[in-house]
Structure 1
Amino acid sequence: MKPFCFADGSIIDSQTATLHPMDLGLIRGYGIFDFFRTVDYQPLFLEDYLDRFIASAEKTYLPLPLGREELRSVIFELIEKNDLQQGGFRMVLSGGVSDNHFSPADGKLFIFAESLDFPSEEKYQNGIKLLTLEYVRPIAEIKTTNYTLPVWHSVNWKKLGAEDVLYHWNRWVSESSRSNFFIVKNGVIHTPDQHILHGITRKHLLKLAQNAIIRPISLEEVWDADEAFISSTTKVLLPVTQIDERKIGNGKVGPVTQSILEKFRALEKVTVAQ
């Protein structure tokens, strides 16, 4: 965490930020957040992230104490004060302290600047392993702070050589715990349409892909895919070459995955330069 953050209505020392112990974010796990990156001191796709964060607050009945312009202003001030050339921003809105300790209240807004490490180059070159997990994330279309199951489950991932999980329900896949999921079949990209968070990286990848198909995808189709990958703010695009004990395609990173990653990295440069 970087030295300065936003909390209690102003920019303060990050070490002094506090949360009331009876806040719903703590006692009920109720709150929202969003996360974006800075590249050369510019917040990447900032308006998209602000759209989603503001919409999440409305959908969870949590009043935002700052409007869009004020949020943007605070973010750029934090970039300057933290000298954040390359890094991450985490916006968090807690559930608040309510009279009945259950209903949403006036939450507390935090904006933290963080250092950011990408996955190793080896993972981009060789791909990663996912573990299937039967689960549907609650109100998946909202970026809530409720990650209880994957945090608990993650203790086993490293033991099994996995990077993350792939959620499915009734044999229909949805997403990873922190990423969107894609398969490639006969050169065409497909991605699930239900029980997912509409990722910002996903949004821009779909624009780049042009011929991508958004639809229900079964586990059987995943096993039969030529390629697979996940996308997120902190991973960009990671090839998936194994799920459980099955190889995806020939078990190597495929040409469509490599191509769309190169296009996205080029898009980043263009976006920052504008």
Structure 2
Amino acid sequence: MKPFCFADGEIVDSSTAKIHPMDLGFIRGYGIFDFFRSVNYQPLFLDSYLDRFIGSAEKTFLPLPYSRKELKSIVKELTDKNDMEQGGFRMLLSGGLSENHFSPAEGKLFIFPETLLFPSEEKYNKGIKLLGLDYVRPLADIKTTNYALPVWDSIRWKKEGAEDVLYHKNGIVSESSRSNFFIVKDGTVITPDKDILLGITRKHVLKLIDKVEIRPVTLEESLAADEAFITSTTKILLPVTQIDDHLIGNGNPGPVSMGILEKFKALEKEVTVS
């Protein structure tokens, strides 16, 4: 975490930020957040992230007493005060202090600048393993703070040498716990269409692909894919080379996946030129 954050309506020392222990974000796990990157002192795709954050607040009935313009101004001030050439910003809106300790109330907005560490180069070069999990995330189109299941299950991943899980239900896959999922078959990129968070990296990756299908994806066809990969703000694009005990394709990162990664890196440079 960087030295300065936004809390209680002002820029403060990050170590002094606090929340009431009876806030719904604490006692019920009810709140929303979003996370975006800073590249060359510029927040990457900020409008897209603000669209999602503002939309999440509306869908969860949490008042957000700041306009888009004000949020951008706060991010700019935090960028300057923390010298945020590269890094991440975590925006969090808590569930608030509820009279009945259950209904959504007026919460607190925090914006924390953070140091950002990407996955190791080895994971990009060799790919990662996912473990299948029979589950659909509640309120999948909202970026809530409720990560109880994957946090609990992550102990299993570590024991089995996996990076994350692949959620599926009734034979249909949806997403990873913190990433969107894609497969490649015969040169066509295919990604699930429902029960997912509409990722911002996913959104911009889709613009870079010529042959793409957005539709239900079965677990069976995922295991038989030529390539697979996940996308997220903190990973960009990671090739998936194994799901459970099944190798994907030849067990190595594929040319389509890695080509998309290179295109995204070029796009990133293009949109962050000073």
Counterpart code for 2:6 = F
Partner of 2:139: 139
TM-score scaled by length of structure 1: 0.99
Show CA shifts across 1:18-60 (max 9, x none).
0000000010000000000000100000000000000000000
Aligned-pair RMSD on alpha carbons?
A: 0.6
> Using the alignment, how far apart are the partners of 1:211 and 1:267 within structure 2?
18
Counterpart code for 2:5 = C
> Using the alignment, how far apart are the partners of 1:26 and 1:155 within structure 2?
22
> Using the alignment, how far apart are the partners of 2:37 and 2:214 within structure 1?
26
TM-score scaled by length of structure 2: 0.99
Shift in Å, 1:210: 2.9
Say if 2:191 and 2:214, in contact at 8 Å, map to a contact too: yes
Shift in Å, 1:212: 1.0
Counterpart code for 2:270 = V
Partner of 2:196: 196
Partner of 2:30: 30
Output aligned runs, 1:1-274, within 5 Å.
1-273=1-273
Show CA shifts across 1:169-202 (max 9, x none).
0110000000000000000000001100000000
Say if 2:187 and 2:211, in contact at 8 Å, map to a contact too: no
Show CA shifts across 1:52-76 (max 9, x none).
0000000000000211000000001
User: Unaligned regions of 5+ residues in structure 1, if any?
Assistant: none
Shift in Å, 1:137: 0.4
Shift in Å, 1:8: 0.3
User: Unaligned regions of 5+ residues in structure 2, if any?
Assistant: none
Counterpart code for 1:144 = T
Moved over 2 A (4+): none
> Using the alignment, how far apart are the partners of 1:223 and 1:165 within structure 2?
14
> Using the alignment, how far apart are the partners of 2:59 and 2:159 within structure 1?
38
> Using the alignment, how far apart are the partners of 2:149 and 2:125 within structure 1?
29
Say if 2:39 and 2:86, in contact at 8 Å, map to a contact too: yes
